[in-house]
């Protein structure tokens, strides 16, 4: 070993022995001096440390939130479905209550039925109901709702459980009608290809018809198919022609939301 290295080793060992034999008081003084010099760095380091901890906690927290979100998303979808179902049931309940009231107060002998299907054809406005021949339903019977006339039975299913209803909004469904507050009578029909909110047409009014928007239109009972004085709608506008006049009528029944209906089995006919 080189003499310089040996000397350095001996000095190092001496230094280590000196350090190891320091009293507690001396060590405390050394530590205090060290800490007083390093205190600005220690303070900054504490800030960095807490910032790093906060960042990691936030990261962990956001990961936990992500997991929770992934878990809750399908749950939310499921609850949304239940809520929708609840609303439907609530609506159905309200309709059935209304129907019950209607049936109690009705002057006709009626049976209640539910609309089970809508035929999607743009050329015919028909729906299917869950009442058929077994419950006494026959073709041509009028169908009502609590709001007014819905249409008439077009056909009954062979199973006896269902029937098809031709809606008032179909042009094939022609109803003798009269206008409230006037002596005007005409034929109310639907319009071909009318989608969405259907409008009806009251034809064969006289050229001098004293009708105006806002007047209500009712069944006249002529022809014996539909009972008299059932609400049909409200006049929106009047078009005067050379030979006759026509009026555009907004129907009383909300056809897109049709739920419960009533088939009139027998009615006291009293034509207007």
Partner 1 sequence: MIRYIVITLLLLPAASAVQQLLPVIGPLHGARLLIVPLVFLCCAVTVDLPVMLLLAFCAGFLWDAQAVVLPPMESAMASVSLPESLPFGASMPLFALSGALMQGVQPLFRRGNWRISALLTGVVLLVHLAMEFAVLSFLRGGFHLPRATFLQMTSSAGITMLLSPLCFVLLFRIAAACDHPLHPAAGRRRTRVN
Shortest distance in whole angstroms from residue 1 CB to partner 1: 9
Q: Compare residues 50 and 237 and give the one whose CB is closer to partner 1.
A: 50
Instruction: Please tell me the count of residues contacting partner 1 according to CB under 8 A.
Output: 32
Q: What gap in Å lies between CA 266 and CA 227, rounded to an integer?
A: 9
Q: What gap in Å lies between CA 130 and CA 161, rounded to an integer?
A: 6
Q: What gap in Å lies between CA 154 and CA 164, rounded to an integer?
A: 6
Site for partner 1 in 35-54 (CB under 8 A): 37-38, 41-42, 44-45, 48-49, 51-53
Q: Does 56 bind partner 1 (CB under 8 A)?
A: yes
CB atoms within 10 A of CB 135: 15
CB contact at 8 A, 267 and 148: no
Candidates 21-29, 105-113, 175-183, 237-245: pick the segment binding partner 1 (CB under 8 A): 21-29
Site string for partner 1, 140-169 (x = CB under 8 A): ------------------------------
Query: Which of 10, 91, 42, 21 has its CA nearest to residue 258?
Result: 91
Q: In the beta sheet, which residues pair with residue 109?
A: 266
Residues that bind partner 1 (CB under 8 A): 4-5, 7-9, 11-12, 15-16, 18-20, 22, 24, 27-28, 30-31, 33-34, 37-38, 41-42, 44-45, 48-49, 51-53, 56
């Amino acid at each position: 070993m080189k003499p310089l290295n040996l000397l350095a080793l001996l000095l190092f060992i001496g230094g280590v022995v000196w350090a190891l034999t320091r009293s507690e008081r001396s060590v405390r003084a050394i530590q205090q001096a060290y800490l007083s010099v390093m205190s600005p760095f220690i303070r900054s380091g504490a800030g960095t440390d807490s910032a790093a901890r906060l960042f990691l906690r936030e990261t962990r927290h956001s990961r936990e939130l992500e997991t929770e979100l992934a878990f809750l998303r399908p749950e939310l979808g499921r609850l949304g479905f239940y809520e929708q179902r609840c609303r439907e049931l609530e609506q159905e309940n309200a309709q059935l209550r209304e129907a019950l009231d209607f049936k109690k107060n009705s002057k006709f002998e009626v049976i209640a039925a539910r609309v089970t299907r809508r035929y999607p054809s743009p050329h015919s406005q028909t729906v299917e109901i869950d009442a058929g021949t077994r419950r006494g339903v026959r073709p041509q019977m009028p169908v009502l709702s609590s709001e007014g006339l819905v249409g008439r039975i077009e056909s009954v299913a062979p199973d006896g459980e269902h029937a098809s209803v031709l809606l008032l909004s179909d042009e094939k469904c022609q109803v003798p009608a009269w206008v409230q507050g006037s002596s005007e009578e005409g034929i109310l029909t639907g319009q071909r290809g009318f989608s969405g909110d259907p409008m009806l047409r009251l034809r064969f009014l006289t050229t001098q018809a004293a009708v105006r928007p806002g007047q209500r239109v009712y069944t006249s009972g002529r022809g014996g198919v539909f009972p008299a004085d059932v609400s049909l709608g409200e006049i929106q506008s009047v078009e005067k022609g050379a030979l006759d006049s026509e009026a555009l009528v907004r129907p009383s029944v909300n056809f897109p939301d049709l739920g419960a209906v009533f088939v009139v089995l027998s009615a006291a006919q009293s034509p207007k």
